[in-house]
Amino acid sequence: MTNRRARALLVAALVGALVVSATVAVPSADARPAHEIPVSTMPEADLSTPSAPDWSRVPAADVPLASAPSGVPNAGDTSIDRVHVQAARSGEQFHVRLQWSDPTRNVTAGSPRAFPDAAAIQFPVDTSSRPPIAMGGRDNRVNVWYWAGNGATQELLAGGAGSTTTFQSPTVDANATYTNGTWTVVYTRDVTGASENRTTLDDDDRLDVAVAVWNGGNGERAGRKAVSEWHYFPTGEGAEGAPYQTLLWTVAGVAIVAVIGVTAFGVLRTHGGDGGGS
């Protein structure tokens, strides 16, 4: 084997190794699809409070927010533009933690002009299809977990803007803290807590989810709110990542290795021929 041939094989092997390692390593981190919010499974973790240390082990998604389209006055005047979302299953409980920056802490609705800060998570009632983003639709309703800074935690059902209805007995609990200009809210529900008009959390591989945040100090309430697009929790068996994505990367990696191999082989043959003729 000549030096040239050895060098070409080494390069090919290095490139191949790079591609393979990237294929294996990437899906759990940056290459996550844009609208996926990871869900960790942590059977023994305590995640029911906003400041529980175990939350540091749960990966977060940075979800952008924009003013919701709405007919209420000043609907475009909202002030929160992103929220960190974490989700995890511990035992039989499903937890979602929202974190966002809000320099004013508004926790009362006790005077005519006072509105509390608030946040909500929206799921389809029927997880097999994606409802209209603005509070669902008449035939495709949404189940909403609502928390407000004045202590109100509600579970809601809606089938379109203005149709929000409160469940008499909420199955969702919410805990919140406000430190250093940041709200942290943890919602907790039993995974098996589904019932009529309540979302089944582990029915499909994907659970669609959208988030809304209100800054009460800015007069935000009702349709005047900052909202995300539809995202999803990968909640199926392969909950650590989207299987199709790994498959795509593997196919791409094999193809690249093959191309490099063929190229290297061609180069070697060309150089080998030259050498033989000299």
Partner 1 sequence: MSTQDDTNINVADGVDHQVAMVMDLNKCIGCQTCTIACKDLWTEGGGTDYMYWNNVETKPGEGYPRGWEESGGGWTDDGSERVAGEIPSREDYGRPWEFNHSEIMYEGSDEPLRPREGAEWGPNWDEDQGAGEYPNSYYFYLPRICNHCTHPSCVEACPRQALYKREEDGIVLVDQERCRGYRYCVEGCPYKKVYYNTVSKKSEKCIFCYPRLEGEGPDGETYAPACAEECPPQLRLVGFLDDEDGPIYKLVEEYEVALPLHPEFRTQPNVYYIPPYAPGQHTEDGESVDVDRIPRGYLRELFGDGVDQALNTIERERQRARQGDDSELMELLQHKNPAKQYRLGVFDDD
Q: How far is the CB of 74 from partner 1 (least distance, A)?
A: 8
Binding range to partner 1, per CB under 8 A, among 26-34, 89-97, 98-106, 109-117: 109-117
Is residue 113 involved in binding partner 1 (CB under 8 A)? yes
Binding flag, residue 106, partner 1 (CB under 8 A): no
Q: What is the DSSP letter of 246?
A: H
d(CA 142, CA 108): 27
- Which residue blocks in the chain are alpha helix, DSSP H? 3-25, 243-277
Instruction: Please choose, out of 44-52, 137-145, 191-199, 220-228, the segment that lies near partner 1 by the rule CB under 8 A.
Output: 220-228
In our burial notation (b when 16+ CB lie closer than 10 A, e otherwise), range 215-250 reads bbbbbbbebbbbbbeebbbbbeeebebbeeebeebe
Which is nearer to partner 1, 162 or 266 (by Cβ)?
Answer: 162
Which of 3, 43, 103, 110 binds partner 1 (CB under 8 A)? It is 110
Distance between CA 184 and CA 181 in Å, rounded?
Answer: 10
99 touches partner 1 by CB under 8 A: no
- The pair of structure tokens assigned to 1 is 């084997």
Under rule CB under 8 A, residue 133 binds partner 1: no
Asked if 70 interacts with partner 1 (CB under 8 A), we say yes
Distance CA 63, CA 82 (A): 6
- Applying CB under 8 A, among 127, 164, 175, 184 the residue interacting with partner 1 is 164
Q: How many Å apart are CA 98 and CA 109, to the nearest integer? A: 22
Binding flag, residue 151, partner 1 (CB under 8 A)? no
Q: Using the rule CB under 8 A, which residue among 43, 112, 276, 277 binds partner 1?
A: 112
- 109 near partner 1, judged by CB under 8 A: yes
184 forms part of the interface with partner 1 (CB under 8 A): no
User: Segment near partner 1 (CB under 8 A), from 14-22, 98-106, 162-170, 231-239?
Assistant: 162-170
Beta bridge partners of 233: 207
User: Which single residue is written with the structure tokens 């006055």?
Assistant: 73
Residue 119 sits in the site that holds partner 1 (CB under 8 A): no
Reference 61, options 102, 19, 41, 32; nearest CA is 32
Nearer to partner 1, 65 or 118 (CB): 118
Residue 142 to residues 42, 63, 86, 109, 168: CA-CA distances in angstroms? 27, 20, 20, 26, 16
Q: Give the footprint of partner 1 on this chain (CB under 8 A).
A: 70-74, 109-113, 161-164, 221-223
